[in-house]
Amino acid sequence: MKESVTILDKTFVKFISSDEIDKAIATLAEKIDSEYINDDPILLITLNGAVFFAVDLLKNLNIKCKITCVKVSSYSGTESTGKINDLIGLNDNVKGKRVIILEDIVDTGRTYKHLHDMLKDAGAKDIRIATMTMKPEAYKGDLPIHYVGLNIPNKFVIGRGLDYDGYGRNLNDIYQLKQN
């Protein structure tokens, strides 16, 4: 793992190793496996960021399940804009199904709330979330976060799907914005 990486105008320092992330994801998969044995859930992948986590999680899952994707955006640079745009909506029928939202990170929780309401309106039987990382200090929502890989401090991070203006998603380890 490199000590630091520079993307555009910002420097990021090493924070969480890929090994630690892999272990956290394997633990999540075990939990989900044991709690969805006969449920045939739909795993909802939030593009673009959650793709990396979704692949790693799915490789560890043994239950029968399907996937579907939606695309939303709320971040501009290192700040949440507070406004969520639906770029690609829900295409599959989730009526009466158990759905697990897959996220790379839960920050304020606005995206989760937005997806939760969308799934509820579409008639999902049960909605949970599995997130690779979460910033508990930033979370402003009331909905429970069911499966969390790693809790992290309220600082901007990149890697494993997490980006700064579209870059850095392909870093295998997680890096944190360097404090000036």
Residue ranges in contact with ligand IMP by CB under 6 A: 49, 74-75, 80, 103-112, 156-158, 162-163
* Site map (CB under 5 A) of Mg ion, residues 37-76, x = contact: ------------x---------------------------
User: Is the CB of 63 or the CB of 74 nearer to ligand IMP?
Assistant: 74
What is the per-residue DSSP string for the chain? --SEEEETTEEEEEEE-HHHHHHHHHHHHHHHHHH-TTT-PEEEEEETTHHHHHHHHHHH--S--EEEEEEEEEEETTEEEEEEEEEE---S--TT-EEEEEEEEESSSHHHHHHHHHHHHTT-SEEEEEEEEE-TTT----S---EEEEE--SS-EEBTTB-BTTBSTT-SSEEEEPP-
Closest residue by beta carbon to Mg ion: 49
Least Cβ distance, residue 123 to ligand IMP (angstroms): 23
Active site residue 117: no
Contact indicator for 13, 158 with CB cutoff of 8 Å: no
| From the list Mg ion, ligand IMP, none, partner contacted by residue 157 (C-beta under 5 to 8 A by kind) | ligand IMP
Least Cβ distance, residue 75 to Mg ion (angstroms): 7
Least Cβ distance, residue 133 to ligand IMP (angstroms): 8
User: Is the CB of 63 or the CB of 84 nearer to ligand IMP?
Assistant: 84
| From the list Mg ion, ligand IMP, none, partner contacted by residue 26 (C-beta under 5 to 8 A by kind) | none
C-alpha dist (Å) from residue 102 to 10, 43, 123, 147: 28, 7, 18, 10
Exactly one of 56, 104, 107, 163 is catalytic; name it: 107
| From the list ligand IMP, Mg ion, none, partner contacted by residue 75 (C-beta under 5 to 8 A by kind) | ligand IMP
Residue ranges that bind Mg ion, judged by CB under 5 A: 49, 104
